[in-house]
Chains A and B, each alone.
Chain A
Amino acid sequence: MKEPVSRRSVLRKISAALAGLATLPVAKTAQAAVQKILVSASLPRGYDPKKHKWVMAIDANRCIGCGLCAEACKRENHVPEGPFFRTWIERYIIAKPKEGSGEARGETFVDSPNGGMHGFPEPPVPKEDIQHSFFVPKLCNLCERSPCTQVCPVGATFDAPDGAVLIDPKYCIGCGFCIQACPYGCRFLSPVTKTAEKCTLCYHRITRGLRPACVEVCPTQARIFGDLMNPLPEDPIQRFYQDNRVQTLKPHLGTGPRVFYAGIDKEVR
């Protein structure tokens, strides 16, 4: 402590620290620019993410629970075996109320054995006791304010300008925070890559002018896919919005899902 600390030297150090802090945003912008080049390099030539806004809608009235979509997704995206799904189908069975119970509805049974990939077993209630039953395909809800991207500590998951929520597998540290933050259970930690995975809307397909695998195989067109920036003549997605009263999943959480559902029930969460 022989050298007295002068005011000037302290001020100099503080201003150096402030200057260091001020360069942070610049460095981040530069890094983002580099990342953008790297990311767009893997995209097909001529694809501009800013010129598209992809979206999917689900008409649950049409779903027959065949499970082809879930299976196609597993194969197309090499989703690991076991309880790992980028998309799946849930079956809802709402029983009739017991006589004299004074209730409007009976118990609700939900299942999705193996993601519904191989269809469904016999219902757990006799057919004559069922009030309603329907299938609900589930996938990433493409949230406007996605909690999964909000919590990622390294920014490995991000909202692409074209509406897809993607993960950079080379960057993900596998902490699992995004999986905890997704209210819809749409993410999982891949036992193969040890990183988080989710529905990408088959990004490798849609950027090449193809439709996602699940949409492609759906025999009843329960899954409707489209580009809000480039509507087709008689666009199915526009028709879906016109023809249906729609709702989203867990709207109270404020995540702003962009996947709209028609024909679902209050029991669907």
Chain B
Amino acid sequence: MTNELTNIVVEILPRFEGYVYPNEASAHPLWGFLIVLYPYITGLVAGAFIMASLVRVFKVKALEPVYRLSLLTALAFLLCATLPLLFHLGHPERCFEIMITPHFTSPMAMFGFVYAWYLMAVLLLELWFDYRQDFVKWSQTTAGFKGIIYRAFTLGVTDESDAAVRLDMKMGWILSIVGIPSAFLLHGYVGFIFGSIKANPWWGNVLMPIIFILSAVASGIALCVFNYMVLTWIRRHTVDMRCLDTMGMFLFYALVVDASVEALDWIHRIYSAEEGFNVIYYMAREKLFYTLSIGQAAIGTLLPLLLLGSLQLFRKHVPELVRRRMYFASASMMLLGVLAMRWNVVIGGQLFSKSLRGVMGYKLEFAGVEGWLMGMVLLGLPFVILTVFVKLFLSERLPSSGHEPHVNLPAAEKA
């Protein structure tokens, strides 16, 4: 009798179809919503940085108005990138063991170093060199607490001579060049965390780091478009259409490349139809319908492709207001779509059993560490930080798209 009762209880409790290993039969996947946010936020950082690099390294002058905004966006999100990871650990107090006693064969162990490198050696330094001259000026003109902050940020280097400013520019340029592979490394590595898991046919895939990087670039540019438009709206300024059109163009290219490689991934999966294809296909169709077919494919990819693509073709015939709305809609949809993509990878990979015989269910809860309230807080936090950054470090008047830098570099005359 007891046996029968136990069996009934076990069968009723969680929501499974088919057979899952007993250790997989818990009510929640091991990695929940927080781990969805982690690659999402890291990807936005990498993407926003690539966006900024377009100005610095590739000399896309039209994007000058959003250069600093993208860098600040990258920093605000980077500061929050490790929080979801930290909260989900069983022993958060031991987190520094990852850096103190790293295990070098683990992709996760390298994250501490890549993150520290990116934050300290690339982003903060680049921002400092970019802002140093302004810090010196602002510290002289601003009184009170703000003035003290600016003075502190000069780090005592108050030299405003042409030679010093030229050196700032040069260092910024070098850091940007170092920063591009670093940004790719930062997010490619996140993709590798999943791509290296050969036990999981949904994750263990050589394309995974590439897909992560490409979707990161797309989502980062989308975030910059979003932030720029929201900022100009809040400040009641006019949008620099040359800048927005250029961002829209890069957004479109990034999306085309990203969508192509993701499509290649799917085509390969379907065509090779390896062991476990049936259960994955079933899971994707039944359990991920809303996030995969609707969220990632339709809203996140096809609609923005249509909108942005048509703008590439018929931009001259579309009035500015409509264009602005189309860009804003596309960027917002892409931000949602990439979030859905992260969900599909992280949660999807845990919705089928590694026995390849069954699927699990998952319902996002409201409260709790892995609940969506916590997720929204963690996702809102970078925007709060960004608001402070914008208040402190972004002048009321953004440079125009025809803007020239403070000192012309000898080799920087290309338009």
Chain A residues with CB under 8 A of B95 = 173
- CB <8 Å contact, B91 and A185: no
Interface of A is mostly: loop
- CB <8 Å contact, B199 and A118: no
Those of B134-189 within 8 Å (CB) of chain A: 157, 159, 161, 163-164, 167
Chain B residues with CB under 8 A of A114 = 6-7, 10, 22
- Residue from the set A85, A180, A181 with the largest chain B CB neighbour count within 10 Å: A180
- Tell me if B353 is interfacial: C-beta within 8 Å of chain A: yes
Chain A residues with CB under 8 A of B159 = 1-2
Q: What is the chain B residue whose CB lies nearest that of A150?
A: B105
Q: How far is the CB of B363 from chain A (nearest CB, A)?
A: 17
- CB <8 Å contact, A150 and B355: no
Those of B240-297 within 8 Å (CB) of chain A: 275
Contacts A83-B26, A118-B2, A172-B91; is A110 near B355 (CB within 8 Å)? yes
- Tell me if B310 is interfacial: C-beta within 8 Å of chain A: no
Give A123 to B249 CA distance when docked, in angstroms: 61
Q: What is the chain A residue whose CB lies nearest that of B353?
A: A185
Chain B residues with CB under 8 A of A269 = 355-357
Determine, out of A45-53, A152-160, A216-224, A236-244, the stretch whose residues face the partner at the interface.
A152-160
**Choice from A173, A188, A252 contacting B91 with Cβ under 8 Å:** A173
- CB <8 Å contact, A150 and B106: yes
Interface string of B14-43 (1 = CB under 8 A from A): 100011011111100011000000000000
**Choice from A31, A154, A174, A253 contacting B199 with Cβ under 8 Å:** A253
- Tell me if B101 is interfacial: C-beta within 8 Å of chain A: yes
Interface string of A147-182 (1 = CB under 8 A from B): 100111111000000000000000111111101111
- CB <8 Å contact, B199 and A180: yes
Chain A residues with CB under 8 A of B109 = 153-154
Q: What is the chain A residue whose CB lies nearest that of B105?
A: A150
Q: What is the chain B residue whose CB lies nearest that of A186?
A: B23
Give A193 to B90 CA distance when docked, in angstroms: 8
- CB <8 Å contact, A173 and B357: no
Those of A227-242 within 8 Å (CB) of chain B: none
Contacts A110-B355, A152-B106; is A83 near B23 (CB within 8 Å)? yes
- Tell me if B365 is interfacial: C-beta within 8 Å of chain A: no
Q: How far is the CB of A143 from chain B (nearest CB, A)?
A: 11
Q: How many residues of A contact B (CB 8 A)?
A: 54
Those of B316-374 within 8 Å (CB) of chain A: 349-350, 353-357
Give A173 to B23 CA distance when docked, in angstroms: 19
Give A262 to B360 CA distance when docked, in angstroms: 30
Chain A residues with CB under 8 A of B103 = 152-155
**Choice from A1, A90, A113, A182 contacting B164 with Cβ under 8 Å:** A1
Q: How far is the CB of B55 from chain A (nearest CB, A)?
A: 24
- CB <8 Å contact, A83 and B19: no
Q: How many residues of B contact A (CB 8 A)?
A: 58
Q: How far is the CB of A120 from chain B (nearest CB, A)?
A: 8
Contacts A113-B6, A153-B103; is A173 near B97 (CB within 8 Å)? yes
Contacts A111-B19, A153-B102; is A180 near B157 (CB within 8 Å)? no
- CB <8 Å contact, B19 and A112: yes
Contacts A118-B2, A147-B199; is A187 near B23 (CB within 8 Å)? yes
**Choice from B22, B91, B199, B356 contacting A181 with Cβ under 8 Å:** B199
Chain B residues with CB under 8 A of A119 = 3
- CB <8 Å contact, A181 and B197: yes
- CB <8 Å contact, B3 and A118: yes
- CB <8 Å contact, A184 and B89: no
Contacts A121-B7, A180-B30, A180-B200; is A194 near B354 (CB within 8 Å)? no
- CB <8 Å contact, A177 and B354: no
- CB <8 Å contact, A183 and B199: yes
Q: How far is the CB of B338 from chain A (nearest CB, A)?
A: 22
Give A154 to B25 CA distance when docked, in angstroms: 27
Q: How far is the CB of B379 from chain A (nearest CB, A)?
A: 21
- CB <8 Å contact, A175 and B22: no
**Choice from B11, B24, B85, B89 contacting A185 with Cβ under 8 Å:** B24
- Tell me if A88 is interfacial: C-beta within 8 Å of chain B: yes
- Tell me if A44 is interfacial: C-beta within 8 Å of chain B: no
- Residue from the set B22, B95, B164 with the largest chain A CB neighbour count within 10 Å: B22
Q: What is the chain A residue whose CB lies nearest that of B159?
A: A1
- CB <8 Å contact, A154 and B102: yes
Chain B residues with CB under 8 A of A172 = 90-91, 94
- Tell me if A195 is interfacial: C-beta within 8 Å of chain B: yes
- Residue from the set B25, B157, B167 with the largest chain A CB neighbour count within 10 Å: B25
Give A114 to B3 CA distance when docked, in angstroms: 10
- Tell me if B396 is interfacial: C-beta within 8 Å of chain A: no
Q: What is the chain A residue whose CB lies nearest that of B163?
A: A1
Q: How far is the CB of A167 from chain B (nearest CB, A)?
A: 12
- Tell me if B309 is interfacial: C-beta within 8 Å of chain A: no
- Tell me if B4 is interfacial: C-beta within 8 Å of chain A: yes
Give A269 to B24 CA distance when docked, in angstroms: 14
Chain A residues with CB under 8 A of B18 = 110
Q: How far is the CB of A262 from chain B (nearest CB, A)?
A: 20
**Choice from A111, A193, A253 contacting B198 with Cβ under 8 Å:** A253
- Tell me if B401 is interfacial: C-beta within 8 Å of chain A: no
- CB <8 Å contact, B30 and A154: no
Q: How far is the CB of A152 from chain B (nearest CB, A)?
A: 6
- Tell me if B107 is interfacial: C-beta within 8 Å of chain A: yes
A residues at B contact (CB < 8 Å): 1-2, 31, 82-85, 88, 90, 109-115, 117-121, 138, 147, 150-155, 171-177, 179-189, 193-195, 252-254, 269
In the assembled complex, 14 residue pairs joining A and B whose CB atoms fall closer than 8 Å, in A order, are A83-B14, A83-B26, A112-B22, A114-B6, A152-B103, A173-B94, A176-B31, A180-B30, A183-B199, A184-B21, A185-B21, A185-B354, A188-B23, A189-B30
Task: In the A-B complex, list the 5 residue pairs whose CB atoms are closest, starting with the nearest.
Answer: A174-B90, A185-B21, A194-B90, A183-B199, A155-B103
- Given A1-B167, A180-B349, A182-B354, 11 new contacts (CB under 8 A): A114-B7, A118-B2, A153-B102, A153-B111, A154-B103, A171-B94, A173-B98, A177-B108, A185-B354, A194-B90, A253-B198
